[in-house]
């Protein structure tokens, strides 16, 4: 069975098609990279796969379930690390984990044991009783990764998970995800702007631009297809060299306002 099956998926906002008739499958136990310039439709696709957004047309299966008709089965089957932070600043690291475990119905004994193990893994165990607002960006990310794995999902979605992480944390994170992928056959679906990261860890890659998938295959296949010798070269040859404008959302504006007020 495939972990993810997408067929003729489209999402329009008004006249603009953010995602335009895309189809792809991700096999169970695969590490799959979803690449594209800003505004290409990556996040919109991930939102539809994770039940946060309704497709305009087309069908989706995640772990065999349809996000439109059976969202709760889909929700139980995946974990996600969002592009923007999604932890509660006022709660402690441990409380954020506990909150997640209760929402996902992880039994208490197993929950407590897994929370300790995961916090230890992301090296936040000593800080488990600190409020998240005291954490740096990298620490928050690590907490979110631990949280996304708490309910032992079959598929894990990572939307630019390594943005703002130092190389140590990045390597550490991927070695754990790859280990999990080997031992539990957890499927990993991620987007990133770091080409060397995709090149290193992804077994297969899809490149999306202007809402359409422009190429799909292994790193070697993509390089061969474009007669380039790096993934970055292939990416640029497929998507062109122009810089994309992406409109700032109200969230971005609010964030920069808050940051200015806090003086950082």
Partner 1 sequence: MWPAIYIMWLRQMKRFSRSRARMVASVAQPLLFLVTFGFGFSAIFRQAGAGNYIDYLAPGIVAMAIVFSSVFSGIEVMWDRQFGFLKETLVAPVSRAALMLGRTLGGATVAMIQGVLVLVVTLIVGFRPASWLAIVPTLLVMTLISVIFTAFGTAMGARLRDMQGFQLIMNFIIMPVFFLSGALFPLQGLPTAMYLIVRIDPLSYGVDALRALLINGGHFGLGIDLAVLVAVAAALLWLGARLFRTIEV
Angle, in degrees to the nearest 10, between helices 167-184 and 137-149: 10
104 binds partner 1 (CB under 8 A): yes
Interface residue with partner 1 among 91, 165, 171, 236 (CB under 8 A) is 91
Considering only the stretches 24-32, 46-54, 119-127, 226-234, report the one whose residues sit in contact with partner 1 under the rule CB under 8 A: 46-54
Question: Nearer Cβ to partner 1, position 58 or 217?
Answer: 58
Question: Nearer Cβ to partner 1, position 75 or 170?
Answer: 75
Locate 197 and state its tokens.
């990261």
Considering only the stretches 100-108, 122-130, 217-225, 231-239, report the one whose residues sit in contact with partner 1 under the rule CB under 8 A: 100-108
Interface residue with partner 1 among 24, 32, 34, 82 (CB under 8 A) is 82
Question: Nearer Cβ to partner 1, position 75 or 223?
Answer: 75
Considering only the stretches 51-59, 185-193, 208-216, 230-238, report the one whose residues sit in contact with partner 1 under the rule CB under 8 A: 51-59
Sort residue 2 into left (φ over 0), alpha (ψ -120 to 50) or beta.
beta
51 binds partner 1 (CB under 8 A): yes
250 binds partner 1 (CB under 8 A): yes
Q: What angle do CA 227, 233, 237 make, to 5 degrees?
A: 75
80 binds partner 1 (CB under 8 A): yes
Q: What are the b/e assignments for 122-156, b being 16+ CB within 10 Å?
A: bebbebbeeebeebeeebbbbbbbbbbbbbebbbb
Q: In terms of DSSP H, where are the helices of 106-240?
A: 108-121, 137-149, 167-184, 195-201, 219-226, 231-239
Question: Nearer Cβ to partner 1, position 183 or 251?
Answer: 251
**Footprint on residues 122-141 left by partner 1 (CB under 8 A):** 131
Q: Per-residue contact track with partner 1, 196 to 235, x per CB under 8 A?
A: ----------------------------------------
Instruction: Please state, in angstroms and rounded to a whole number, the distance separating the CA atoms of residues 207 and 159.
Output: 14
Give kind and range of the element (H or E) at residue 251.
helix 250-262
In sequence order, what are the residues at sequence separation of 6 or more whose Cβ sits closer than 8 angstroms to the Cβ of residue 109? none
Beta strand pairing call for 212-217 and 57-62? unpaired
Interface residue with partner 1 among 7, 23, 38, 54 (CB under 8 A) is 54
Name residue 207's beta-bridge partners. 35, 215
Interface residue with partner 1 among 45, 50, 187, 192 (CB under 8 A) is 50
Residue with tokens 């703002």: 164
Binding site for partner 1 (CB under 8 A): 47, 50-54, 72-73, 75-76, 78, 80, 82, 84-91, 95, 98-100, 102-105, 131, 147, 250-251, 253-255
């Amino acid at each position: 069975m495939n972990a993810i099956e997408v067929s003729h998926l489209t999402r329009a906002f008004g006249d603009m098609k953010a995602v335009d008739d895309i189809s792809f499958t991700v096999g169970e136990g695969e590490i799959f990279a979803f690449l594209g310039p800003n505004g290409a439709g990556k996040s919109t696709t991930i939102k539809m796969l994770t039940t946060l957004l309704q497709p305009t047309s087309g069908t989706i299966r995640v772990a065999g379930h349809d996000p439109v008709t059976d969202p709760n089965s889909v929700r139980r089957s995946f974990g996600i690390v969002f592009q923007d932070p999604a932890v509660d600043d006022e709660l402690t690291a441990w409380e954020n984990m506990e909150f997640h475990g209760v929402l996902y119905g992880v039994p208490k004994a197993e929950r407590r044991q897994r929370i300790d193990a995961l916090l230890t893994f992301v090296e936040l165990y000593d800080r488990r009783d600190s409020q998240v607002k005291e954490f740096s960006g990298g620490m928050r990310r690590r907490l979110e990764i631990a949280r996304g794995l708490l309910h032992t999902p079959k598929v894990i979605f990572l939307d630019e998970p390594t943005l703002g992480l130092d190389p140590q944390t990045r390597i550490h994170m991927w070695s754990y995800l790859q280990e999990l992928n080997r031992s539990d056959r957890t499927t990993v679906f991620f987007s990133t702007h770091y080409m060397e990261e995709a090149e290193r860890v992804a077994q297969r890659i899809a490149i999306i631009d202007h809402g359409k998938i422009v190429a799909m295959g292994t790193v070697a296949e993509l390089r061969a297809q474009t007669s380039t010798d790096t993934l970055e070269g292939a990416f640029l040859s497929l998507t062109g060299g122009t810089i994309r404008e992406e409109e700032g959302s109200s969230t971005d504006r609010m964030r920069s306002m808050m940051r200015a007020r806090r003086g950082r």
